[in-house]
Structure 1
Amino acid sequence: MMLPEKLILDHLKANLTVPVFMEHQETDPEVFVIIERVGGSRTEHIQRASFALQSYGKTMLQAALLNDEVKRAMDLLIESPAVSAVELDSDYNYTDTQTKHYRYQAVYDLVLF
C-alpha cells in the first residue's frame, strides 16, 4: 500500500501547473499548493485519510482559481487502482491572516486499499 501523502503529492505534481509541497519552503513561490494530512483511520485492509489542500495565490481570485484546478485534479485521483473513493468534504476561503497570503482550502476524504 502506497503512503497516501506520496500518492497525492505525485498525483498533484503530475496534474497541476504549479509547485506542490508537503510544507512551506524557505522562500515560497507566489503561487503553489500545500498538502496537509488532517486525519485518517485503518480498519482491516481499508485505509481512510483526510487531507487539506491549500491553494496559495497573489490575489484572492488567483487562489480561488487554483483551488478549482486542484479540485479538478483530485477528481481524477479516482482512476488510481489504490483509491476506491475521493470525496470533497468542503472548500472555502482560508486566507492566512498572519502572513497576509491569499489561500483557499479544499478538504478531501479518501478511501484506499
Structure 2
Amino acid sequence: MEAIAHFYRLGCITLTMATLAFCYPPVDMPQGYYCESTSQCATGLCCLKPIIGGSPTCQPLAKLTEQCTIRPLGGVYTHHCPCVDGARCDRSMYMCVPPDVYAYEFIMAGKHRK
C-alpha cells in the first residue's frame, strides 16, 4: 500500500516538472527551425513568416543591398528580416544600406553590386 502512495507522489512531481518544462519557449533556435518570436531565434536570425502561407521560421538577418523589414508584428517579421548590425533599412526602397547613406545614393554609386 505504501508503494502505491509513493508512486502517486512521484507521478505528481513528474507531472509538475513536465508542465513547467513547457512554460518556457525554446531559445537560440538555429536557422530553419519554427519560432513564435524573434527572441527565440539565435543571434543573427529573425523569426520570419513566409509571404504566402506557412509557419514562421528563424532566418538570417538582411545584409547590405538585401531587402528588409522595419517592424515585426508580435515579434514575427513578414516578407523580410531586419538588417544586420551596422546597416539600416532605408524606407524608400526597403533595402539595407550603411547608416549614413540613402538607398538611391548607394545604388547610383554602384556599391550594391557584388
Per the shorter chain, which TM-score range? under 0.3
| TM-score (norm. length: structure 1) | 0.20
**Whose strand proportion is higher, 1 or 2?**
1
| TM-score (norm. length: structure 2) | 0.20
**Highest CA radius of gyration, 1 or 2?**
2
